[in-house]
């Protein structure tokens, strides 16, 4: 039943992401134009809930597209193997970890909070069966 | 068309700024990042020049530039790590 | 001078100002990672504004299709390129200026040998 609402969720996520891009760009531009630095940069390890390469690639690209957050790398030992994708089971090797360079969050936990929000919205938008539990 | 002329001027200054960072950059990574901005500036300049000269193929050229542009970023990254992955 | 021309000109000037601000950020920000963020504003919002303004100056149905294609292709490819540059930046051990926290440094012991070899060769 939930696949009926899938196109609307997809469009809704697209609009939310466009708004997010504009607001975060405005934050970077404002920091840029005002004298001095008010940024608190740092690198955060983020355990994602993505199940396959498609979702993790999309998430990393969206994080990079938002100015102020930047994907630096993926944890390579827990990468989803082709066999997992073939049987379409959840990854048995543990969560995929993305390393994100954030500018304006203040602490690693605050960055993780924002990324979790974005990831939940993305998965709700692109998975036909809805958000992860 | 005054806005297009002004835009060409402003983006030209921005390209000069990133060229200064390429020449000056304390590390190799700074040069690569400024090269990325220079690429974006040129894509924008192509669009603006096409509109300025009322060329009907403007958007085709910008589309090709956007398609092949990321190859420059990838090769900058490869050059930065000296061929290592 | 119709309305669409005025809108196009204003949009183009705003996009060019975003570019100028990104170039200022590349000159001002203290380390390479923050400069990547400054470039991200130009590569995302700046290009979209410029191309949308150019579309308003040359409006037609095929051009609308091409502009949508340009925006999608450009956002996807610039994200990939920016990630490649950011990863190469970290691998070559470009220093982080005044960072507050770094959870990648203690999490990657297995790439140390490769990085050492890399920094010896450079």
Which ipTM value was assigned to this complex? Answer: 0.86
Return the residue in B24, B36, B45 with the most chain C beta carbons within 10 A, the one to mutate for interface testing.
Answer: B36
CB C67 within 8 A of CB B58: no
Q: What is the DSSP letter of A3?
A: G
**Chain B residues touching residue C26 (CB < 8 angstroms):** 17-18, 21, 33-34, 37
Q: Is residue A133 in some structural domain?
A: no
Q: Is residue A131 in some structural domain?
A: no
User: Which pLDDT tens digit goes with each residue over A50-90?
Assistant: 777 888 888 888 888 888 888 888 875 544 444 444 444 44
Using CB atoms, which residue from B40, B59, B82 is nearest to C42? B40
CB A102 within 8 A of CB A42: yes
Q: Please classify residue A72 by burial: count the beta carbons closer than 10 Å to its beta carbon, then call 0-12 exposed, 13-18 middle and 19+ buried.
A: buried
Q: Are the beta carbons of C21 and A29 separated by less than 8 Å?
A: yes
Number of domains present in the structure of chain A: 1
Using CB atoms, which residue from C22, C78, C101 is nearest to A43? C101
For chain A, how far is it from start to end, CA to CA, in angstroms?
17
Q: Are strands A69-74 and A97-102 parallel, antiparallel or unpaired?
A: antiparallel
Q: Shortest CA distance to A110 belongs to which of A54, A58, A42?
A: A42
C92 CB within 8 Å of a chain B CB: yes
Q: In which residue ranges of chain C is pLDDT below 50?
A: 109-122
Q: Are strands A42-47 and A97-102 parallel, antiparallel or unpaired?
A: antiparallel
Least confident range of A108-112, A115-119, B46-50, B55-59: A108-112
What average pLDDT does range A87-95 have in this prediction?
Answer: 52
**Chain C residues touching residue A103 (CB < 8 angstroms):** 34, 37
Q: Is residue B9 in some structural domain?
A: yes
Cα(B24)–Cα(C107) distance, integer angstroms = 33
Q: Are the beta carbons of A70 and C86 separated by less than 8 Å?
A: yes
**Chain B residues touching residue C18 (CB < 8 angstroms):** none
**Chain C residues touching residue A99 (CB < 8 angstroms):** 103-104, 107
The boundaries of the domain holding residue C88 are: 3-121
Tokens of A12: 């809704």
Q: What is the DSSP letter of A46?
A: E
In Å, how far are A98, C73, C78, C85 from A64, measured between CA atoms?
12, 15, 9, 11
Q: Is residue A58 in some structural domain?
A: yes
Q: Provide the H-helix boundaries in chain A.
A: 6-33, 53-65, 82-87, 108-126
Chains linked to B by 3 or more Cβ pairs within 8 Å: C
pTM for this prediction:
0.82
**B2-24 helix and C3-28 helix, angle to the nearest 10 degrees:** 10
Chains linked to A by 3 or more Cβ pairs within 8 Å: C
Q: How many beta carbons lie within 10 A of that of residue B2, not counting itself?
A: 8
Q: Please classify residue A127 by burial: count the beta carbons closer than 10 Å to its beta carbon, then call 0-12 exposed, 13-18 middle and 19+ buried.
A: middle
Number of domains present in the structure of chain B: 1
Which pLDDT belongs to residue C1?
A: 66
Q: Is residue A21 in some structural domain?
A: yes
Return the residue in A56, A70, A78, A79 with the most chain C beta carbons within 10 A, the one to mutate for interface testing.
Answer: A70
Which pLDDT belongs to residue C65?
A: 92
Which pLDDT belongs to residue A76?
A: 58
Q: Is residue B85 in some structural domain?
A: no
The owner of tokens 């609402």 is: A5
Q: Is residue B12 in some structural domain?
A: yes
Q: In which residue ranges of chain B is pLDDT below 50?
A: none
Chains linked to C by 3 or more Cβ pairs within 8 Å: A, B
The boundaries of the domain holding residue A35 are: 2-126
**Chain A residues touching residue C34 (CB < 8 angstroms):** 39, 41, 103
């Amino acid at each position: 039943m939930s696949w009926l609402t899938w196109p609307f969720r997809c469009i809704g996520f697209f609009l939310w992401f466009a708004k997010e891009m504009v607001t975060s760009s405005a934050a970077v531009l404002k920091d840029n134009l005002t004298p001095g630095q008010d940024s608190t940069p740092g690198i955060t390890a983020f355990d994602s809930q993505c199940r396959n390469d498609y979702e993790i690639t999309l998430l990393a690209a969206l994080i990079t597209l938002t100015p102020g957050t930047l994907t630096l790398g993926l944890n390579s030992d827990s990468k989803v193997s082709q066999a997992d994708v073939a049987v379409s089971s959840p990854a048995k090797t543990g969560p995929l970890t993305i390393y994100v360079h954030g500018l304006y969050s203040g602490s690693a936990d605050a960055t993780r909070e924002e990324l979790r929000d974005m990831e939940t919205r993305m998965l709700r938008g692109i998975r036909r069966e809805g958000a992860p539990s | 068309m005054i806005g297009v002329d002004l835009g060409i001027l402003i983006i030209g200054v921005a390209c000069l700024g990133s060229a200064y960072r390429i020449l000056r950059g304390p590390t190799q990574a700074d040069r690569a990042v400024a090269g990325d901005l220079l690429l974006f500036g040129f894509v924008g300049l192509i669009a603006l020049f096409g509109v300025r000269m009322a060329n009907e193929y403007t958007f085709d050229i910008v589309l090709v530039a956007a398609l092949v542009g990321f190859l420059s970023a990838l090769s900058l990254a490869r050059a930065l790590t000296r061929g290592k992955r | 001078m119709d309305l669409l021309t005025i809108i196009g000109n204003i949009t183009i000037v705003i996009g060019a100002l975003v570019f100028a601000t990104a170039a200022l950020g590349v000159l001002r920000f203290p380390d390479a990672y923050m400069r990547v963020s400054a470039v991200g504003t130009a590569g995302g919002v700046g290009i979209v504004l410029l191309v949308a303004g150019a579309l308003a100056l040359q409006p037609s149905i095929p051009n609308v299709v091409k502009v949508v294609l340009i925006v999608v292709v450009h956002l996807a490819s610039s994200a990939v390129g920016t990630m490649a540059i950011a990863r190469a930046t970290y691998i070559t051990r470009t220093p982080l200026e005044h960072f507050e926290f770094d959870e990648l440094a203690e999490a990657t012991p297995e790439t140390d040998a490769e990085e050492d070899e890399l920094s010896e060769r450079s």
